[in-house]
Amino acid sequence: MSDQDPLAELVSRCQQGDTVAFAQLVAATQADTYNVAYGVLRNPQEAQDMTQEVYLRAWRALPGFRGESKVQSWLYRVTVNTCLNRRRRLRKDLVLVDAEDALVDVAARGPSVPERVTLKERNRAIWAAVARLPEKYRLVITLFYQQELSYQEIADGLVLPLGTVKAHLNRARKALAEGLRLPEEGEDAGV
Amino acid sequence: MLECDRARRSIVQYIADGEPALPVYASLRAHLGTCASCRAEAERLRAVEGALRVMPVAAPPVGLAPEVMRRVNSLGQPPREEWRLFSWETWVPVVAFAVALLIAMISMPANLLSSMTLYELESTLRALPGQAGGWLSPMESITRNELFWVIWTSLFVTMAGVGFSLSLRNLSREATAWLAEWCDRLTDVTDRAWQRARNAH
Ligand SMILES: [Zn+2]
């Protein structure tokens, strides 16, 4: 187990079946887990259900955790897999939207920013546009900007090549920016 | 326009990285000085970057952790020694053992097998139609080939090792770690033997 991982000691106690240690692990990580779940699912009830599901899975899977990665990265992976699966199942009931189409849609309609806006209002409009991004883009945004993971940590967590992570982030940033009409630009005012 | 296309390719990363004064961005910075359209794009990207950096984090509801622990406690101990049917931990060793057994069976001299029912199974296998039979039949002629035996034996050892170590995995993690290391060494040895055999040929 890596020396730098403060949760490693808790994990080895959890592996012996210590529920008190697991409660501490939950307390230490639940905010991150919930936020990532919310980032993917965009629904408080779903995020709550999936966070519970993540920890139940983690409890069952912990005896097999060998400490090859940090506990937090491993938890991110469990969270992402659980939530993306949930999303896929949910989407069967919804209208299927191709991820790329949705990205183009965000870029085209963009965060609608009225003529005179405060910085706060402009930020709100951009956050609302983030919510409309396809989940794979929203996920990297959540991990990078909110969980403050590095490109490499995201790549490890999602089992994706580093270049793909960067490309996803840049495409999301570009889509958000392209749709954005800043009032001070004065160019095509009608969004 | 060509300039703009080039600028647009690097501008996203440039803004996201906080507009570093790196030499790779020198031409981009020069272009931004002269192109209003790309400057506007940079402004939009800055707005996006600024908004993303202060995006509010969703806070978990108060009752979440207690509810998790209630459910965990009702589950009891993690199912350490459970054999889950259809999980890879079950079927991989089974398949590995089956392959190892098949290899051993085919490799055994026919006279040793003559009194066993296995012999019948072997002849059945050899009599298999199409690809399977065709795959097995040339083995008779190459059994004296050293290279063949090295590959054949290492395949057997690997399969048996995988089957063996994964079967023990659910019983004891320590034993598995030790076995995995042991299997690694064994694979190493067979690898080297294989290399030597290949060089000899
Ligand atoms: Zn330009």
| ipTM, two decimals | 0.80
Nearest to B72 by CA among A128, A25, A94, A45: A25
Query: Between residues B16 and B181, which one has the greater pLDDT?
Result: B16
Instruction: Please report the pLDDT score of residue B45 as a whole number.
Output: 96
The neighbour count for residue A49, using CB atoms within 10 Å, is 15
Chain B: closest CA distance from residue A89 (Å): 21
Is the pLDDT confidence value at B54 over 70? yes
CB of A39 within 8 Å of any CB in chain B? Answer: yes
Task: Find tokens 């209208």 and name the residue.
Answer: A95
Q: In this complex, which of B40, B51, B75 lies closest to A56 when CB atoms are compared?
A: B75
CB of B74 within 8 Å of any CB in chain A? Answer: no
Contacts of A184 (CB under 8 A, 6+ apart): none
The rounded mean pLDDT for chain B is 76
Tell me if residue B127 falls in helix, strand or coil.
coil
Query: Between residues B82 and B154, which one has the greater pLDDT?
Result: B154
Cβ of A38 within 8 Å of Cβ of B56? The answer is: no
- In this prediction the pTM is 0.61
Chain A: closest CA distance from residue B97 (Å): 22
Please tell me the distance between residue A134's alpha carbon and the centre of ligand 1 in angstroms. Answer: 28
Instruction: Please report the pLDDT score of residue A32 as a whole number.
Output: 94
Round to the nearest angstrom and report the end-to-end CA distance of chain B: 61
CA distances from B81 to A61, B167, B174 (A): 12, 11, 13
Chain A: closest CA distance from residue B63 (Å): 10
pLDDT band at residue B100 under the 50/70/90 scheme = confident
Nearest to B78 by CA among A10, A61, A71: A61
Task: Find tokens 């690997």 and name the residue.
Answer: B158
CA B153/CA B104 separation, integer angstroms: 9
Is the pLDDT confidence value at A57 over 80? yes
Cβ of A52 within 8 Å of Cβ of B80? The answer is: no
Contacts of A145 (CB under 8 A, 6+ apart): B52, B53, B55
User: What are the CB-based long-range contacts (under 8 Å, 24+) for A126-132?
Assistant: A126/A176, A126/A180, A126/B47, A126/B48, A126/B51, A126/B52, A127/B51, A127/B55, A127/B56, A129/A176, A129/A179, A129/A180, A130/A172, A130/A176, A130/B52, A130/B55, A131/A42, A132/A102, A132/A105, A132/A106
Beta carbons of A21 and A13 less than 8 angstroms apart: yes
Beta carbons of A26 and A8 less than 8 angstroms apart: no
Work out the angle at residue A64's Cα, subtended by the Cα atoms of residues A60 and A68, and round it to the nearest 5 degrees.
130
In percent, the amount of chain B with pLDDT more than 70 equals 62
Chosen from A82, A103, A146 to mutate, greatest number of chain B CBs within 10 A: A146
Domains, in order of start, for chain A? 8-100 (1.10.1740.10), 111-179 (1.10.10.10)
CA A2/CA A7 separation, integer angstroms: 10
Chain B: closest CA distance from residue A23 (Å): 6
Please compute the mean of the pLDDT values over residues B138-165 and round it to a whole number. 73
CA A137/CA A135 separation, integer angstroms: 5
CA A68/CA A110 separation, integer angstroms: 42
Please compute the mean of the pLDDT values over residues B171-194 and round it to a whole number. 64
Q: Which two tokens stand for residue B190?
A: 């067979």
Instruction: Please report the pLDDT score of residue B155 as a whole number.
Output: 86
Instruction: Please report the pLDDT score of residue A191 as a whole number.
Output: 32
Please compute the mean of the pLDDT values over residues B143-165 and round it to a whole number. 78
Helix axes A151-158, A71-91, angle to 10 degrees: 60
Cβ of B65 within 8 Å of Cβ of A59? The answer is: no
CB of B12 within 8 Å of any CB in chain A? Answer: yes
Cβ of B60 within 8 Å of Cβ of A48? The answer is: yes
- Closest residue in B to A53 (Cα–Cα): B68
CB of A2 within 8 Å of any CB in chain B? Answer: no
Instruction: Please report the pLDDT score of residue B55 as a whole number.
Output: 92
CA A161/CA A154 separation, integer angstroms: 9
- CA dihedral sign, ordered A142, A145, A149, A154: positive
Cβ of B55 within 8 Å of Cβ of A52? The answer is: no
In percent, the amount of chain A with pLDDT more than 70 equals 79
Most confident of A70-84, B88-102, B181-195: A70-84
Contacts of B195 (CB under 8 A, 6+ apart): none
Which positions 126-185 of A are in contact with B (Cβ < 8 Å)? 126-127, 130, 141, 145-146, 166, 169-170, 173-174, 176-178, 180, 182, 185
pLDDT band at residue A23 under the 50/70/90 scheme = very high
